[in-house]
Amino acid sequence: MTEQNGQSLQDNDFKYIMLDSSNVCLGARLSFAELMEHELLPFKLKAIITHYVYKEADPETTLESQFYYMEKNTFLYDTFVQLRTRVKVNEMVEKKTLFGKRKMKYKETVYSLKEFAEINLAKKKASGIIICEIVISKLGMMTFSV
């Protein structure tokens, strides 16, 4: 894979912000600093990151690593639970072929943050979990008081 400014071009596929009527979808390879520079990020989410997230997380940390290693009962966990955050992942699952052979394939799954944080680190690594996207509810953002 070729490099561009010290990053692989493949990383850019997971650096995006998409807005729909009910969610803010964030590419998992974005760092908090890159997120704050993005023009599509809603102002309220920028305020939440500035006031709450930066107390616990380094601005250069990617969303992928922050959520992969996030543990329950931390301030950051509680903040994102309040925002009704979901984590979209690809994980290896065993599938049977038409002839009964077993084959490992990636399957896309969306977990609530509570469900995802309950999966221990060893199981995440064993099932080859790759975080693709962080989905934040606009309703959760709306009800969050800064």
Q: Where are the domains of the chain?
A: 3-143
* Interval 1-48: pLDDT, tens: 445 555 555 667 789 999 999 999 999 999 999 999 999 999 999 999
**CA 68 to CA 42: how far, in whole Å?**
24
* Interval 109-137: pLDDT, tens: 999 999 999 999 999 998 899 999 999 99
pLDDT, residue 103, reads 86
Q: End-to-end distance of the chain based on CA atoms, in angstroms?
A: 42
**CA 71 to CA 63: how far, in whole Å?**
14
* Interval 81-110: pLDDT, tens: 999 999 999 998 888 878 888 888 889 999
CATH of 3-143, one of 3.30.465.10, 3.40.30.10, 3.10.450.50, 3.40.605.10: 3.30.465.10
- Within a 10 A sphere around the Cβ of 114, how many other Cβ atoms? 13
Cα angle 83, 87, 92 (rounded to 5 degrees) comes to 170
What's the one-letter identity of residue 36?
A: M
pLDDT, residue 1, reads 43
- Spatial neighbors of 1 by CB under 8 A, at least 6 apart, are 8, 9, 10
What's the one-letter identity of residue 77?
A: Y
